[in-house]
Amino acid sequence: MAETSLSNPAGLRAWLLSAEPGSRLQARLGRAYLGWRAFARNPLAMLGLAVVLLLVLVALLAPLLETHPPLSGGDLRTERLLPPSTAGHWLGTDDQARDIFSRIVAGARITLGVVLLVSIIAMPVGLLVGTVAGYFGGLVDTALMRLTDIFLAFPRLVLALAFVAALGPGIENAVIAIAITAWPPYARIARAETLTIRNSDFIAAVRLQGASPMRIIANHIVPLCMSSVIVRVTLDMAGIILTAAGLGFLGLGAQPPLPEWGAMIATGRHYVIDQWWVAAFPGLAIFVVSLGFNLLGDGLRDVLDPKAAK
Amino acid sequence: MATSQAVQGGDGRFDALLRLARAAGRFVAMVTVTLAGLLAVTFLIGRVVPIDPVLAVVGDRAPPHVYERVRQELGLDLPFLQQFLIYCRKALSGDFGTSVLTTNPVMTDIARVFPATVELSTVGVLIGILTGIPLGVLAAVKRGSVVDQFVRVLGLVGYSVPIFWLGLMGLLLFYARLDLVSGPGRLDITYDYLVTPVTGMILVDSIMQGQWEVFRNAFSHIILPAAMLGYFSLAYISRMTRSFMLSELAQEYVTTARVKGLSEARIIWRHALRNAAVPLVTVVALSYAHLLEGSVLTETVFAWPGLGQYITHSLQNADMNAVLGGTLIIGTVFVFLNLFSDLIYRLLDPRTR
Amino acid sequence: MTGKPLLEVENLKVRFHLRTGTVEAVRGLSFTLGRERLGIVGESGSGKSQTGRAILGLTPPPGEVRADRLVFDGTDLLTAPRRTLRALRGGRMTMVMQDPKFSLNPVMTIGEQIVEAYRAHRKAGRAEARDKAFAMLEAVKMRNPARVFSLYPHEVSGGMGQRAMIAMMLVTDPDLLIADEPTSALDVTVQMEVLRILDELVGARGMGLIFISHDLKLVSSFCDRVLVMYAGRVVEEMSAGALARARHPYTQGLMRCLPTLAADVRPLPTLLRDPTWAG
């Protein structure tokens, strides 16, 4: 039955919205479809999604989109600091006679990479700390949460600075430093969620079947914490981008000649009065992408976490 | 003494006192643990640095026996835990070691630069409070109106724009093009050394010494970076004010106030805002703390000789003592701001007394 | 209880325009009130609370109030300027709400709130307003008015809070008091005490009272007249003494739902609801 109705779109919708799903997969897809419909009604959230998708697309297709080589410049005597839209340089050139547009396109890869790596490192750490603290309670909880509080007591950028200072400048160390400062809020959220689930009957049932604590946490608690943590991570992505750019601006993140947007602003800083475009466009790129992640995160929160939405 | 009097005063009062004492005890314990944690983190960061602190002192061509003597002087041959305890004791007495860059004790340096940061952040947060709270209140009262949309956009932009870039663009527009404000730095060179530092905050010192010219110049320098920082706290404060006010305006006591025939203005500002002010205290303290953080980037852009610039300068010169000292100071200020906001919270909300 | 009516309501309609459609909370309510006690009874959602709020001009934002006539002592409440309405509210007509835990401002002392109510309508100095507040707190049988004056709402019990609320609402000597479920949030033991105080004050001052409640028995023992509302309309109006002779099936249903000691009713009757009553 499902096969016949899947062939046309109306049938697909009916299958997704079926009140009696035939399989777990159908039920899950149905929930996802409902969530998507709620999300799609919010134009700002859709705009955010479009910006983020654009970022991904640009990052994937960067070599095709670049009009000039992003790392090596042109003639230093004639092509330095050209204003926008001269001689095929849409956004002008920088002090090394490199095309700013191509550098921004290439920088999309770095930005996306930083965001993904930080989330991939920080999210599991936060989830682990939070769920373990929440599930076991008692001394474990106190110890882990104190640790979390200590990390939260530092301003993020300053702590990241201190870590980069210790590890040495560079994009990899910047990622590690940001990840180290990013996990505590996720741990807090995961712990709060765990506390609400840990005493429920289905957990007790699994425990009676003899499942080990680690198995319960990994298979039953973590999946239920995921949606709120994902919302938080999405909302944090703008912050991650801004912190990475800040480190780059201070010369502690990506090192030259990498086209990292924050570092590009740092270069443009010396020319801001007379050649404004060198600093202006990378900053605009950071702004647009951060805004996209913020809009997307707001939209996701409304769909996945109606409690927190105001 | 006080306790025995309280017992005579009645059981309720004694209970309240006991509760207060317990809360205070928990508080002190929490602050102690957090501070110890801060120290541990900075200590560990100091240990993983690939820079050899001995080499930093003696240089890389020193003979082995000199190297060994300095190593012992620095206590680097002692067991790890003992090193940490020594570090704690020194840090608590304000000894963060010597800055390689300036050759001064780090604490002396920080004491010199910190007032500039406090001055900048304070003016910034004042701008944020004075604009953010009224805007947030208006957005909540006129929900869905132009003001509300405006506050939403302000907030979104504030959460998305890199502060250092906004600072650069501000300099470009307001200083270079429009010439409305003065450029980087705290004062024009001609006004340097006219004011004796007392508090270290030029705005305050110049008023105290009646140097109005200096005050005007200092103001024209501080206004742009402070407005940039103020914008970020405005974005945060207005958004939070709006959401607190929305929940307060839906409360039943607001209907009571209307039944009493009070004016809308009085209902909004005296009744609802006074209730919203309770959680707002925490928000303001938090945004003040974040301005201290934002100052690291802003001070670099505006050549503002404060703690932020000190930390970045030290970073770029691998001056670890200075970096960690500065980090520790900012962390401590963070902890105490939280503590302070909690105290004010208790003062404002009679239910927590 | 004679002479010109205090309040005239004719064909009152309260509507809420929501995104999901229009909800009609009150649909053509009419009554007149003298200096008497009128009870309005109905289940939740019957529109009784919205009636009280509409009279005071406090219908919340998406709501719209219409009536052929809504007149308080010669003032047309629908066309009067806001300033006049504000002077009437709190000055001549007031309301006591359900739960003092929510209806009193948590960060102001009880005294401050009473003084504020008084000074909003009378040109009075602080000292005078304070004396008035003390007298009012005494009138609602507070044992230690001076102490209650400086207490915060969370520091008093529900019964005391509601008495403070009554004191605050009557401090300006209003002509009309709307009591919207004034005792439903209180412990049973203090309900009667609060009602007795309310009864005494309303009687002594010769005020008009609209007593809104879901409790038919309570209303009939407390009021002169009773309106029974269902789905935004009056289904029956009668004098309180004539309750036993209620003709409308809804009223009879409400009556039957009350347990009696004399007879063991099985099965317990359920309330019949007929959509045609609303139509």
Contacting subunits of C (3+ beta carbon pairs below 8 A) = B
Average pLDDT of the segment spanning A4-24: 72
Tell me the percentage of chain B whose pLDDT exceeds 90. Answer: 22
Whether A51 contacts A295, CB under 8 Å = yes
Q: Searching chain B, which residue's CA lies closest to the CA of residue C90?
A: B260
Residues of B with CB under 8 A from a CB of C: 251-253, 255-263, 271, 274-275, 278, 348-351
Stretch 141-160 of chain A: residues touching chain B, C-beta under 8 Å: 146-147, 149-151, 153-159
Tell me the percentage of chain A whose pLDDT exceeds 90. Answer: 17
In this complex, do C116 and B351 lie within 8 Å of one another by their Cβ atoms? no
For A118-161, the pLDDT digits (tens) are 999 999 999 999 999 988 888 888 889 888 888 887 778 888 88
**A296 in contact with B, Cβ within 8 Å:** no
pLDDT at C3: 61
How many contacts, defined by CB atoms under 8 Å, are there between B and C? 72
In this complex, do A157 and B297 lie within 8 Å of one another by their Cβ atoms? yes
pLDDT at C123: 86
Distance from CA of B331 to the nearest CA of A (A): 5
**A269 in contact with B, Cβ within 8 Å:** yes
Chain C CB contacts of B348 under 8 Å are: 107
Domains of chain C in sequence order: 1-84+177-188+208-279 (3.40.50.300), 93-173 (no CATH)
C and A adjacent (3 or more CB pairs under 8 angstroms): no
Q: Which of B23, B245, B219, B30 is nearest to B126 (CA)?
A: B219
Give me the residue from B252, B271, B351 closest to C154, CB to CB.
Answer: B351
Q: Searching chain B, which residue's CA lies closest to the CA of residue A155?
A: B293
In this complex, do B251 and C102 lie within 8 Å of one another by their Cβ atoms? yes
C-alpha distances out from residue B114 to B110, B164, B200, Å = 6, 20, 8
pLDDT greater than 80 at residue A229: yes
In this complex, do B350 and C88 lie within 8 Å of one another by their Cβ atoms? no
Average pLDDT of the segment spanning B284-308: 87
pLDDT greater than 70 at residue C117: yes
**B102 in contact with A, Cβ within 8 Å:** no
Average pLDDT of the segment spanning B186-212: 81
pLDDT greater than 90 at residue B135: yes
Whether A221 contacts A203, CB under 8 Å = yes
Average pLDDT of the segment spanning B175-196: 81
- For an interface test with B, the pick among A158, A180, A270 (most B C-beta atoms closer than 10 Å) comes out as A158
In degrees, to the nearest 5, what angle opens at C-alpha B246 toward C-alphas B242 and B249? 130
Give me the residue from A154, A158, A280 closest to B296, CB to CB.
Answer: A158
pLDDT at C74: 86
For chain A, what are the domain ranges?
55-68+90-304
pLDDT at C177: 92
What residues have CB less than 8 Å from C205, skipping those under 6 apart?
C170, C173
Chain B CB contacts of A158 under 8 Å are: 293, 296, 311, 326-327, 330-331
pLDDT greater than 70 at residue A1: no
Give me the residue from A151, A251, A272 closest to B316, CB to CB.
Answer: A251
**C105 in contact with B, Cβ within 8 Å:** yes
pLDDT at C278: 64
A and B adjacent (3 or more CB pairs under 8 angstroms): yes
More confident residue, A273 or B149: B149
Lowest mean pLDDT among B32-41, B167-176, C188-197, C235-244: C235-244
Please report the ipTM that was assigned to this predicted complex. 0.87
- Please give the Cα distance from C167 to C179 (Å, whole number): 13
Average pLDDT of the segment spanning B279-297: 86
In this complex, do A153 and B334 lie within 8 Å of one another by their Cβ atoms? yes
pLDDT at B237: 93
Assigned token pair, A240: 């991650």
Three-state secondary structure call for residue A88: coil
Average pLDDT, chain B: 84
C-alpha distances out from residue B27 to B32, B145, B279, B336, Å = 9, 43, 19, 11
Split at pLDDT 50, 70, 90, the class of C262 is: low
In this complex, do A158 and B46 lie within 8 Å of one another by their Cβ atoms? no
pLDDT greater than 60 at residue B337: yes
More confident residue, B81 or C273: B81
Split at pLDDT 50, 70, 90, the class of A4 is: very low
More confident residue, A202 or A69: A202
Read off the DSSP letter of residue B189. Answer: G
Average pLDDT of the segment spanning C28-40: 89
Burial group, residue C34, by CB count within 10 angstroms (0-12, 13-18, 19+) = middle
Average pLDDT of the segment spanning B202-210: 83
pLDDT at C265: 63
What residues have CB less than 8 Å from B88, skipping those under 6 apart?
B36, B39, B43
What residues have CB less than 8 Å from B159, skipping those under 6 apart?
A238, A290, A294, B235
pLDDT greater than 50 at residue A107: yes
B and C adjacent (3 or more CB pairs under 8 angstroms): yes
Q: Which of A65, A77, A171, A158 is nearest to A117 (CA)?
A: A171
Q: How far is CA B155 from the centre of its chain?
A: 20
Split at pLDDT 50, 70, 90, the class of B12 is: low
* pTM (predicted TM-score): 0.83
For B68-122, the pLDDT digits (tens) are 887 787 777 778 788 888 888 888 888 888 887 888 888 989 999 999 999 999 9
Q: Searching chain C, which residue's CA lies closest to the CA of residue B252?
A: C103
Chain A CB contacts of B294 under 8 Å are: 157
Chain B CB contacts of A276 under 8 Å are: 172
Split at pLDDT 50, 70, 90, the class of B10 is: very low
Lowest mean pLDDT among A192-196, B70-74, B277-281, C202-206: B70-74
Average pLDDT of the segment spanning C74-100: 90
Average pLDDT of the segment spanning B282-292: 86
In this complex, do B253 and C105 lie within 8 Å of one another by their Cβ atoms? yes
pLDDT at B3: 39
Chain A CB contacts of B243 under 8 Å are: 310
Give me the residue from B293, B297, B320 closest to A249, CB to CB.
Answer: B297
For C125-170, the pLDDT digits (tens) are 889 999 999 999 998 888 888 899 999 999 998 889 999 999 999 9
In this complex, do B350 and C103 lie within 8 Å of one another by their Cβ atoms? no
pLDDT at A310: 42
- Looking at domain A55-68+90-304, its CATH superfamily turns out to be MetI-like (1.10.3720.10)
pLDDT at B4: 39
**B235 in contact with A, Cβ within 8 Å:** no
pLDDT greater than 70 at residue A14: yes
pLDDT greater than 80 at residue A51: yes
In this complex, do B331 and A149 lie within 8 Å of one another by their Cβ atoms? no
Assigned token pair, B33: 């643990």
Distance from CA of B313 to the nearest CA of A (A): 9
Chain A CB contacts of B160 under 8 Å are: 238, 242, 287, 290-291, 293-294
Chain B CB contacts of C53 under 8 Å are: 255
pLDDT at C114: 93
In this complex, do B297 and A245 lie within 8 Å of one another by their Cβ atoms? no
More confident residue, C21 or A206: A206
Q: Searching chain B, which residue's CA lies closest to the CA of residue C103?
A: B253
pLDDT greater than 60 at residue A181: yes
**C147 in contact with B, Cβ within 8 Å:** no
Chain B CB contacts of C90 under 8 Å are: 259-262
Whether A238 contacts A294, CB under 8 Å = yes
In this complex, do A155 and B330 lie within 8 Å of one another by their Cβ atoms? yes
Lowest mean pLDDT among B128-142, C7-21, C263-277: C263-277
pLDDT at B51: 67
Average pLDDT of the segment spanning A63-70: 79
**A15 in contact with B, Cβ within 8 Å:** no
**C117 in contact with B, Cβ within 8 Å:** yes
Average pLDDT of the segment spanning A180-193: 90
Contacting subunits of A (3+ beta carbon pairs below 8 A) = B
Split at pLDDT 50, 70, 90, the class of A9 is: low
